[in-house]
C-alpha cells in the first residue's frame, strides 16, 4: 500500500523540500506563477522554501495553456504524467481541449541500469536471475516511467517478456502524492473555481488508481480475465501469464512477435488482409464491451499486434474498463434515441447516464441535443465519425455541468481509438454498421424469457425483503418518537444566505445608531462646555465627535466595498 500522509507543514524531510522546489520551478517556467501565488504557499511552508526565486519567467512562445500544462506534467516526472493521463479520461473534471492535449502525454524515459533491475528481480523472485531464467537480455525492449520490459527465456524453453518496476519508484510517487495532496488542499482553500471540482478528492482517487498500476499482479489478472473471454476464439490471442515469476513488481508474460497494426506496408508484405484485420479487431472490441462488460481501455496501435492468419493479439493490460449490464443498456438507449432522432428520449437517457449537482435546464438541453443530432445524423452513415460525435457530446455535457462517469468515458474513448485504427487499415470500414447488431442484441435481450424471469424474481425478492423489514423499521421509528430521540430537520434553500444578509443589516444598523449617539452626545457636551476646555471647546466632546466621524467613515467604506449603499 502507498503510504500517503497529509503534510500541512512541508519541509519535514529534505526530499519533500527539494522536490517542492523542483515543482514550483517548473510551474513558474511554464507560466503558472499566478497559480502558485494564489495558493499562498508562504503561509504554510517553512522558511527554506520561502527563499524560492519568483523571478523566473515563462518561455516566450505561442503555446496554448493546455499545451503548457502537458509540457509541465512531462517535465514533472512519472507521477504527474500518470495524473495527466488519468485526467485525460475525465472530461467531467477538465475541459475538452485539455483532455485532448493530455492524451498526448509521452511515457518514454531512458532505461535504468540492469544491475538495479536484477536486484529487484532477485529480491521479488527470491532466487538468482540465472535460476529463474536461462537467458535474460540486459537491454530492454521498452522503457517507461514506472517500469521497463526485457526479453528472457525460461528453463522450459518458453520465450517471455518480463516487465520490471523501476527501483525506488514507489517512494518517488509517495512524495509526489503527498505534495500533490498538500497543493490540492490549498486550491480548495484559496481558489474558488478550482475548489468546485474537489481537487483533494481527485488526488485521493488518483492515488488509488496509481496504486493499482503499481501492482503488476493486477495486470496479470486482467490479462487472464480477457484471455478467458476469448478462450475458444482462434481469431484472438492473449499472451499467457507465468504466475511463478510474477509478483507486484515483476510481470512475466509470453513473448509475442507480431506486426504492429499500424504498419500497413509490413502487414501487406506478410500476406495479411487489412480488411479482415479491421473487421476482427472491431468485433473483438465490441464483444468485450457489449457481451462481457470488461474491455481493454487503451487499444492504440502500439498495443495491438497482428499474428499469422490475421490473428489479433492485445498487449499491455494496465488500463482496463468495465461497464455493468444496466449501464450498457442505458448507453444503448441513448444511441437508439439519437438514431431515431428523438431528442426527448435522448435527453432523458443522457441525464440517466450522467451525474450532476444542479439539475440542468431540460428544455434547453433538448434543443441542444436536437441540434447535435441534426449536425451528425443527416448524412450517410459512412460519413458519421464516432470520434467527432464523442467530442461534440463532451462539449455539450460540459456546457451543462454534467459529469460522464469514468467507465463510460473510457468506453467512448476506446470506441474512438478503435475507429481511428480501423480508418488506417480500411478507409471504407463502417463502425456504426458493425456496432448495430450488438446494440440490437442488447435491446432484444431485455425481452428474452430468461431475462424476464430473472427480473421478476429480483422484483419479488426485493418486495419480500421490504415486506419483512418495513414493520421493524416502523416499530423502530415509533420507539424513537416516544423516547423523543427523533427530530425533524428542514433545510430551506438560501436560508443561510438570507440569515447572513440579515445579520449584516442588523450590525450596520446598530453601528449607525452608535455613531449617531456619539455625534449627538458629543454635540451636547460641546454646547454645555463640559470641562476640560481647549480654546473654549470641550475636549471630551471633540474626542467623542472624532470617534463618531471615524466610525462613520469606516462604515461608509465597508458599504462601498460591498458595491451597494
SS3 per-residue string spanning 116-174: HHHHHHHHHHCCCHHHHCCEECCCCCEEECCEEEEEEECCCCCEEEEEEECCCHHHHHH
Q: Is 235 helix (H, G, I), strand (E, B) or coil?
A: coil
Distance CA(70)–CA(64), nearest Å, equals: 10
Pairing of strands 236-237, 311-314: parallel
14 contacts 52 by C-beta, under 8 angstroms:
no
On the 0-12 / 13-18 / 19+ scale of CB atoms within 10 A, 502 is: exposed
Show the cell assigned to 481: 418518537
Among 124, 176, 298, 368, the one annotated catalytic? 298
The strand ranges marked E within 187-244 are 236-237
H or E stretch covering 314? strand 311-314
Distance (Å, rounded) from C-alpha 20 to C-alpha 175?
9
- Could you tell me how many residues make up the chain? 565
Contacts of residue 343, Cβ cutoff 8 Å, sequence gap at least 6? 337, 366, 367, 369, 370, 373
CA dist 412 → 91, 286, 519 (Å): 11, 12, 71
Nearest CA to 164 among 128, 198, 114?
A: 114
Using DSSP's 3-state secondary structure scheme, residue 493 falls into coil
What is d(CA 174, CA 535) in angstroms, rounded to the nearest whole number? 74
55: left (phi over 0), alpha (psi -120 to 50) or beta: alpha
Q: Are 239 and 387 in contact (CB under 8 A)?
A: no
DSSP character for 10? Answer: B
Q: Is 250 helix (H, G, I), strand (E, B) or coil?
A: strand
298 a catalytic residue: yes
Q: Which of 100, 105, 198, 214 is nearest to 163 (CA)?
A: 214
The answer for residues whose C-beta is within 8 angstroms of residue 416's C-beta and 6 or more apart is: 386, 387, 390
CA pair distance 379, 393, nearest whole angstrom: 18
Whole-angstrom distance, CA of residue 159 vs CA of residue 133: 10
Any idea which residues carry the catalytic annotation?
298
Amino acid at each position: 500500500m502507498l503510504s500517503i500522509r497529509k503534510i500541512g507543514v512541508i519541509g519535514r524531510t529534505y526530499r519533500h523540500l527539494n522536490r517542492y522546489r523542483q515543482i514550483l520551478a517548473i510551474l513558474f517556467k511554464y507560466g503558472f506563477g499566478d497559480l502558485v501565488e494564489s495558493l499562498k504557499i508562504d503561509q504554510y511552508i517553512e522558511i527554506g522554501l520561502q527563499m524560492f526565486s519568483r523571478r523566473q519567467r515563462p518561455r516566450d512562445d505561442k503555446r496554448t495553456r493546455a499545451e503548457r500544462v502537458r509540457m509541465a506534467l512531462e517535465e514533472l516526472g512519472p507521477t504527474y504524467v500518470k495524473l495527466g493521463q488519468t485526467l485525460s479520461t475525465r472530461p467531467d473534471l477538465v475541459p475538452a481541449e485539455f483532455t485532448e492535449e493530455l492524451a498526448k502525454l509521452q511515457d518514454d524515459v531512458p532505461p535504468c541500469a540492469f544491475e538495479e533491475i536484477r536486484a529487484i528481480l532477485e529480491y521479488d523472485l527470491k532466487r538468482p536471475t540465472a535460476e529463474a531464467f536461462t537467458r535474460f537480455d540486459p537491454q530492454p525492449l521498452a522503457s517507461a516511467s514506472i517500469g521497463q520490459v526485457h526479453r528472457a527465456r525460461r528453463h522450459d524453453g518458453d520465450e517471455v517478456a518480463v516487465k520490471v518496476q523501476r527501483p525506488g519508484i514507489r517512494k518517488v510517487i509517495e512524495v509526489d502524492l503527498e505534495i500533490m495532496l498538500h497543493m490540492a488542499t490549498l486550491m480548495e482553500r484559496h481558489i474558488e473555481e478550482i475548489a468546485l471540482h474537489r481537487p483533494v478528492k481527485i488526488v485521493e482517487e488518483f492515488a488509488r488508481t496509481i496504486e493499482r498500476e503499481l501492482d503488476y499482479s493486477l495486470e496479470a489478472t486482467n490479462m487472464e480475465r480477457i484471455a478467458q473471454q476469448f478462450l475458444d476464439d482462434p481469431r484472438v490471442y492473449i499472451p499467457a501469464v507465468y504466475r511463478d515469476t510474477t509478483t507486484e513488481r515483476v510481470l512475466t508474460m509470453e513473448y509475442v512477435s507480431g506486426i504492429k497494426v499500424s504498419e500497413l506496408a509490413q502487414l501487406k508484405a506478410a500476406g495479411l488482409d487489412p480488411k479482415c484485420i479491421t473487421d476482427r479487431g472491431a468485433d473483438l472490441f465490441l464483444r468485450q464491451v457489449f457481451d462481457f462488460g470488461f474491455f481493454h481501455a487503451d487499444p492504440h496501435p502500439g498495443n495491438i499486434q497482428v499474428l499469422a492468419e490475421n490473428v489479433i493479439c492485445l498487449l499491455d493490460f494496465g488500463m482496463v474498463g468495465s461497464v455493468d449490464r444496466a449501464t450498457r443498456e442505458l448507453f444503448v438507449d441513448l444511441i437508439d434515441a439519437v438514431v431515431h432522432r428523438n431528442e426527448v428520449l435522448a435527453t432523458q437517457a443522457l441525464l440517466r447516464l450522467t451525474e450532476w449537482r444542479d439539475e440542468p435546464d431540460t428544455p434547453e438541453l433538448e434543443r441542444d441535443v436536437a441540434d447535435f443530432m441534426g449536425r451528425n445524423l443527416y448524412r450517410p452513415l459512412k460519413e458519421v465519425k464516432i470520434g467527432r460525435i464523442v467530442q461534440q457530446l463532451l462539449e455539450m455535457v460540459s456546457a451543462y455541468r454534467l459529469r460522464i462517469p469514468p467507465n463510460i468515458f473510457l468506453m467512448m474513448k476506446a470506441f474512438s481509438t478503435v475507429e481511428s485504427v480501423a480508418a488506417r487499415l480500411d478507409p471504407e470500414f463502417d463502425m456504426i454498421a458493425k456496432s448495430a447488431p450488438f446494440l440490437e442484441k442488447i435491446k432484444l435481450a431485455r425481452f428474452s424469457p430468461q431475462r424476464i424471469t430473472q427480473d421478476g424474481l429480483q422484483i419479488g425478492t426485493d418486495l419480500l425483503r421490504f415486506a419483512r423489514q418495513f414493520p421493524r423499521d416502523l416499530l423502530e421509528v415509533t420507539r424513537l418518537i416516544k423516547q423523543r430521540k427523533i427530530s425533524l430537520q428542514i433545510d430551506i434553500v438560501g436560508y443561510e444566505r438570507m440569515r447572513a444578509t440579515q445579520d449584516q443589516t442588523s450590525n450596520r444598523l446598530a453601528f449607525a445608531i452608535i455613531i449617531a449617539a456619539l455625534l449627538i452626545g458629543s454635540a451636547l457636551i460641546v454646547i454645555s462646555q463640559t470641562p476640560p476646555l481647549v480654546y473654549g471647546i470641550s475636549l471630551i466632546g471633540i474626542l467623542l465627535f472624532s470617534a463618531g466621524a471615524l466610525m462613520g467613515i469606516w462604515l461608509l467604506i465597508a458599504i462601498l466595498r460591498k458595491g451597494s449603499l
